[in-house]
């Protein structure tokens, strides 16, 4: 049995942070941010909103689009690097917010590749016959873990959530395959030193701002381009699909320069690439489902299209998935 994506939904918080907002208190400029990243604005969650709130809203929309009803969901997987708290998991909290009692739920930590990892887990469960309708959520509130005084990271990240329901294929639409990779040896290129068991939140840790994400962007950039291209080609070769057959590339939205270099390496024109980084910045595990949700809403992705998802992120992790929509 093959699996398919039966419905997609997304939710972004209302508050918009423009590049001018960062200009107002940091040594940065709209010009630098636009040219180096492609980002013009991003969203910020309200103080009363948590990751599970964003995730539950996206999930409701995905369930509605899938037409399976809440009762049809039999597993919840939430990909996030910013859960409400270490436990209970964001997936359990989303389940509670959706009123899903007794439905198994767990979080998955694979950085910005989390949604692709989540779809891979979901499709494997569906293909095995173990679960029928798996809700995969990617939800993040990154504005709470980036240092508002670090111009090299705070301008990049935004908040949001996206979700999909993975179900048995009806024969037309199907998940054709995926490839996942990780290399923890590169962990310190993008990491959050404190807030886990490694470091207690002492005054010294807070003073050194180790409770905020640290990133070596330049090094990451090169690995991201190389590995996203490699994993895409690896997957297409394995499935015997030519690059030119791909109708839509839906990449993780980290930097417009990463996306356009990747498209060039894959020989795909930008007209076949879904890009919304200008509006939302990098929303980590939420970026692919938000981009997918928007492209579907705009009627760009149509049934029968070949859609290639590819992501890269903290871990380091990277992966790709090919879907016949």
List of residues contacting ligand UT7 (CB under 6 A): 28, 32-33, 36-37, 112, 151-152, 155, 190, 217-218, 220-221, 224, 254-255, 282, 312-313
Nearer to ligand UT7, 7 or 281 (CB): 281
CB of 282 to ligand UT7, least distance (A): 5
CB of 221 to ligand UT7, least distance (A): 4
Nearer to ligand UT7, 25 or 87 (CB): 25
CB of 260 to ligand UT7, least distance (A): 12
Write out the E strands in 219-258.
248-251
Residues 6 or more apart whose CB falls under 8 angstroms from that of 220 comprise: 189, 190, 316
CB of 217 to ligand UT7, least distance (A): 3
Residues 6 or more apart whose CB falls under 8 angstroms from that of 259 comprise: 38, 251, 253, 273, 275, 277
Active-site pick, 4, 133, 154, 252: 252
4 is catalytic: no
d(CA 280, CA 14): 11
- The CB density around residue 49, as the number of other CB atoms within 10 Å, is 17
What is the helix (H) or strand (E) element at residue 309, kind and residue range?
strand 306-313
Nearer to ligand UT7, 39 or 308 (CB): 39
CB of 49 to ligand UT7, least distance (A): 22
Active-site pick, 112, 133, 154, 255: 112
d(CA 79, CA 153): 21
Residue holding tokens 């990751």? Answer: 51
CB of 250 to ligand UT7, least distance (A): 15
Nearer to ligand UT7, 73 or 146 (CB): 146
181 is catalytic: no
d(CA 161, CA 81): 12
78 is catalytic: no
d(CA 225, CA 264): 10
192 phi, psi to nearest 5 deg: -115, 95
Nearer to ligand UT7, 95 or 111 (CB): 111
Smallest CA-to-CA distance from 216 within 153, 149, 277 is with 153
Nearer to ligand UT7, 75 or 146 (CB): 146
- The CB density around residue 206, as the number of other CB atoms within 10 Å, is 12
Pairing mode, strands 134-141 and 75-79: parallel
SS (H, E, C) 136-155: EEEEEEHHHCCCCCCHHHHC
Catalogue the active-site residues: 112, 252, 282
């Amino acid at each position: 049995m093959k699996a398919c994506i039966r419905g997609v939904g997304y939710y972004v918080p209302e508050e918009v942070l423009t590049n001018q907002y960062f200009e107002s208190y940091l040594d940065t400029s709209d010009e630098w941010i636009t040219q180096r990243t492609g980002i013009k604005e991003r969203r910020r969650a309200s103080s009363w909103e948590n990751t599970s709130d964003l995730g539950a809203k996206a999930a409701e929309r995905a369930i509605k689009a899938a037409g399976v009803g809440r009762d049809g969901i039999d597993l919840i997987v939430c990909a996030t690097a910013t859960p409400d708290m270490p436990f209970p998991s964001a997936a359990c909290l989303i389940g509670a917010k959706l009123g899903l009692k007794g439905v198994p739920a767990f979080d998955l930590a694979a950085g910005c590749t989390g949604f692709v990892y989540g779809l891979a887990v979901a499709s494997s469960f569906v293909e095995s016959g173990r679960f029928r309708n798996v809700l995969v959520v990617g939800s993040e509130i990154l504005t709470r873990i980036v240092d508002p005084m670090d111009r090299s990271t705070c301008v990049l990240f935004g908040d949001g959530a996206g979700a999909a329901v993975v179900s048995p294929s009806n024969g037309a639409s199907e998940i054709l395959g995926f490839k996942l990779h990780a290399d923890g040896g590169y962990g310190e290129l993008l990491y959050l030193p404190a807030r886990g068991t490694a470091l207690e939140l002492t005054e010294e840790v807070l003073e050194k701002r180790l409770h905020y994400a640290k990133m070596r962007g330049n090094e990451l950039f090169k690995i991201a381009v190389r590995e996203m291209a490699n994993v895409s080609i690896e997957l297409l070769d394995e499935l015997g699909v030519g690059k030119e057959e791909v109708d839509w590339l839906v990449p993780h939205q980290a930097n417009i320069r990463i996306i356009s270099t990747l498209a060039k390496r894959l020989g795909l024109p930008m007209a076949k690439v879904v890009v919304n980084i200008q509006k939302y910045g990098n929303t980590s595990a939420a970026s692919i489902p938000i981009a997918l949700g928007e492209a579907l809403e705009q009627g760009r992705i149509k049934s029968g299209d070949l859609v290639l998802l590819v992501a890269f992120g903290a871990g380091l992790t990277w992966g790709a998935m090919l879907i016949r929509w």
